[in-house]
Structures are given as C-alpha cells and as structure tokens.
Amino acid sequence: MKNLIKNIALAATVVATMASCNDILDLNDTSTFGDVAVWSSQSNADAYVTAAYKTFNDQSALYAEEGAASRNRYYDNYSDLMKSNFWWTIDFNQALMEPGFITKGQARFFDCWSATYSRIKRTNIMLNDLERYGQKWGEEWYNIRRAEGRFCNAINYFFLARVYGGVVIRTDHSGGGGWADDGAYEQDKNRARVSEKETYNHIISELQWAAEYLPEKWDAAWTGRATKGMAYAFLSRIALYAGEWKVAADAAEKCAEYYSLVANYGELFDVNASQDNSKEIIFSIKGWQNVIRNGFDADNRPFGDRAVYNRSTYAMAEPTAELADMYEFKDGTEFSWQTYSANHSDPYTDREPRFHATILYNGAKWEGRTIETFVGADDNIAEGADAYRKFDKNEDADGHTVTGYYLRKYLQEGHTAFTTEGSYNTDIVIRYGEVLLNKAEALAQLDYMANNAKAFEALNAVRKRVGLPEKSLQDAPDLEGFMALIRKERAVELAGEGLRCWDIRRWKLGEKMINGQNVHGVKITKQANGEFTYETVDADGGMKRIFNANFYYLPLPSSEMAQNRLCVDNW
C-alpha cells in the first residue's frame, strides 16, 4: 500500500491548491471544495476515490492517526498469546481482568461505531457522486472505482459486525430522496439494525460484486489499490465469521490464482527483505521512510536496547508462555518442559523457524548481542540486560518483560534510527498464509469426511513452508480434532498479527479460553555455576481474566441510542 499512500498524499497536495484542504482523506464530502473540482479530472477523482481506503488506517496498530491510542489495537494483547506489562496507561489488562471496565454504552477499546459510520458515510457520498459524474470516463473506469468503494464499505461493515453483530445498513441510495444516507433527512437518523446474518450477507454480496469488477492488478503508480485477489482474500476471512463455509473455501481457491507462499517466513516481516513479499502479502499498510512512520520499535523493543540506544523502550506486547510452548521443535515433536531436556540442550535453540521469527528469548541473537532475560539466583549474580520482572498491577514493569519473552515479529532489526526517525515497517492486513488456513477450516467445517484430504493439503502447505512434517487423518480423525490443529496452527503462524482475539470471539470460545484463566511466563534464573533453571510463573499478578457471555456482542455507544430511536442495544 506504500505507493497508494504516496499517491494519495501527492493527489491531496494538488487538490489542496484548489480547496484549502491539506488531506483528501479527511474530507466529509465534495462540498468542501465543490463537485466540479473533484470530478474535473481523473487524477482528482482518483484521489477522492482512494480516500475510502482510510478505513484500514483506523484499525492499524502501527499507523492509526491517534498515535499512542493506536497501541490499544495490538489486538493479540486481548488474547492468550500476548501480554502487556502496562496496567493503567493501556487498556489491555484492565479490559481482561477488571470487572465493569466494559459497560453499557461503552465498548471501550473495541468501540468503532461512530468512526466507522463516518467512513461509511464518506464512501457512500463518493459512490453517489461517482454515479453522477464518473461515467464520463467510460464504463470500465466507472465500474472499477465503484467496486473499490463497495469493497471498502464491505470492510467497514465487517469491522462493525465483528464487534456488535447485526448493524444498521446505510448505502449510497438509502438516504432521503434516493441519495447517500448522510443524515441530512430526519428519516435517515432512525434506522433499525438488521440481523447478524443479514449483515454478513450484505458484506459477502458486496465483496462478491467488487471481485467481479476489480482489476487483477494496477499500474505500478497505484500499487496497493483493491484487486480481485484482494477481494477474494477478505471474502475467505469474513465468510468464516458468517459460517458460510463454501463461500470461504471457494474464495480462497480463487485467491490462489493470484498469490502464493514465499519461501522465508521470517523475511515476510522484514521491510528490507531480499525476497519478493508481494507474492504473499495481499494487503498491507506500508511506512514511507521519513514521511509515514510509527513507534512500533520503541513500543516493543527489549529492555536491553535502552542502554544500547539511550532511548526508552516499553515492550508492550510480550509473547506469553501459552504461545511460546505451542511452537514445535523443528523435527515436529511437541514442546514440553518435562521432556525437552532428553533430546535438546536448551528449550529454545531447536524450535521451528516461526518461533525464532516471532519471539526474542533468553539466548537469542539480536543486533550483535545476546538477549538476557534471566535473573540472578542471589545478589552476587547479576541479572541479564533484559531481565524478567514479576507482573504487578500496582507497579510499573518499566519496559521489562513480565513473561520472559519479547516480541520479535515486525521489529526492524538494525534500524538504529528508530530513536529519532520512528519506524516505517509494514503492517500486514491480510496475507496468503492466512488464506490457506481459512480454506482448511472452511473445507473441514463444510464436510470433514468428504473434504479432509483437501483441508489437510491447505494446512500442510503452511507447515511445509517452515520444514515441519505433515499432519494427517491419524492426527485428527474427526472435525473436533482438526479444529484443534487449526487453532494451534493459526496461533503460531499468525501470532502478533492481531487475529487471535477475533478468532476466539468467532469460535465462541472466550468463556473457555479467557474467562477464569490467566496467562503465564517463564522465570529463568542463572545459578552460580552459570546454568539456568526454568520456572513457569503466573503473568497476571494472581488475577483471573474475565470474558462474560455478553462480550461476544458489545454495547452500542450511548450517542447512537440517544439519536436513533429504532436502534436496539446489545446490552
């Protein structure tokens, strides 16, 4: 999406000379500078159309405009895979363990109602204007741009549906007089929610329509705009939420016509990778060095980097022992604290590639030094540079790990200028590795006995990329067994990419996997003889996590309930 962002920025500069507006992405409608100015040329019109993509930025943990508030979108911290060492500054721990933090009228960190409907409104106005003015450049041009708008609004409705369930559907023709539903008419303000099924049906039909008209690819100048393959990829994800298994499987199959797995898993998350990651990364938000930056490195680098760079680091997303222990050894055997020492010199060195690409652990090599998360057995033994701290809600861990691990995925190793320039890494929104796992799950759910061979084929493609042995029907003789494999594979393949908490919600497993549970870490102690001992420890400060039955559908904001008399709340 780097070129797309760059071209939006450049186009905005052109428009600003006519409009006294410095950001096309923040336009409410064309009246800011007049319809004639927007639709006077294809370049101006394209700048207006591409503003619809701004919705992805709203959900990005790396690039959201709210700055520090975007840290709340490290969504894996709301799951069992990651742990934040903050209590008050960031909402993660409060949301999971503090009774009453989510209340009627306040969905807290998941609240996206007003902001998303603002995006929907802007896109609906664009689509309505496009119908009036855009056909002068030909049917193909018109259909492609219309498909882009409908694609972006489908994603908008998905962001709403995964939080609230059924929502209010507002389109470019549902407003008073047949125009865009922009709240200009009294009857537009009061609309009832449709059911969750109807909401997902709308999203799926919009994506299917978009996939029909979107191009297979764009010219280099507009790389990042929606394509057929991109629409199919999101369709494979969203149809899982709807329980539309065939739709998801078919979409994944179509996506395979355009994308494939790259060879090196670790390089997928390296902004300076030597391999062509565009073969797998379907949609992403890319930084632009010295222009479009974020604070991901400062937020997540290990504590020992403070001394190296004389710059505060915070380690706000730390892998849990629950995640670390899921990674197999490179020969495919399961990890166990009770048995690993029989065949391995330490718990970490011989683990599969995704472990090393995702987690910084005691003994890991990092920028010319060795990560040291250990503490000393007594006061005579110095603790490591990245030493563990026990989690306590009343004390700040001050950037230390509270799980014994640090997140490696997405960090820009060797980017020493993060202290002054920030980071410009790539936030992957969706990639083909996920699409394969979407396909495997959909095929299994559709008819496990009929489709298990194809389901295992998709699952094993992800495993074979990192050199792990294939799974077979012997490992999962029924659907329940296969879903256990899928849940584990999604966890280790997609860790740190923000999907786990949403997976838990769509599987309706929050009460089992989160409620009443707590996550763990490993406390490593260096003994006088230089050897290490390992102790599994509670990383939640003795508190139990909360996920009530009503958390699957969170409360609507009070403002919506006050102004829309036909809208019924979830709570």
pLDDT in tens, 307-359: 999 999 999 999 999 999 999 999 999 999 999 999 999 999 999 999 999 99
Which pLDDT band holds residue 179 (cuts at 50, 70, 90)?
Answer: confident
pLDDT at residue 261 is higher than 80: yes
DSSP 224-250: TS--HHHHHHHHHHHHHHHT-HHHHHH
Average pLDDT, the chain: 92
Query: What single-letter DSSP state applies at residue 179?
Result: S
State mean pLDDT over 269-278: 95
Q: Which two tokens stand for residue 400?
A: 């230390």
Q: Give the pLDDT mean for 76-82.
A: 97
Evaluate if residue 66 carries a pLDDT over 60.
no
Q: How far apart are CA 339 and CA 334, in angstroms?
A: 10
Q: How confident is the model at residue 4 (pLDDT cuts 50, 70, 90)?
A: low
Question: Would you say 473 and 452 are in contact if contact means Cβ atoms under 8 Å apart?
Answer: yes
Q: Count other Cβ atoms within 10 Å, centred on residue 396.
A: 14
| Number of C-beta neighbours around residue 455 at 10 A | 28
Per-residue pLDDT of 142-172, as tens digits, reads: 999 999 999 999 999 999 999 999 999 999 9
98-104 long-range contacts, Cβ below 8 Å, gap at least 24?
Answer: 98/546, 99/546, 102/551, 102/554, 102/555, 103/555, 104/555, 104/569, 104/571
The residue among 322 and 189 whose pLDDT is bigger is 322
* 16 pLDDT above the threshold of 70: no
Query: Nearest-CA neighbor of 70 among 401, 271, 296?
Result: 296
More confident residue, 255 or 5: 255
Rounded Cα gap, residues 366 and 370, in angstroms: 6
Q: Which amino acid is at 480?
A: E
Q: Which residues pair with 395 in a beta bridge?
A: 392
235-249: per-residue pLDDT in tens? 999 999 999 999 999
What does the pLDDT average to over 125-140?
95
What pLDDT shows up at residue 15? Answer: 31
pLDDT band at 68 (very low <50, low <70, confident <90, very high): low
The answer, yes or no, to whether residue 522 has pLDDT greater than 60, is yes
E-state strands within 348-502: 359-360, 365-366, 369-370, 375-376, 406-407, 426-431
CB 181 within 8 A of CB 175: yes
Ordered alpha helix ranges (H), 80-112: 92-97
More reliable by pLDDT, 102 or 11: 102
Which of these ranges, 173-177, 270-274, 411-415, 450-454, has the smallest mean pLDDT? Answer: 173-177
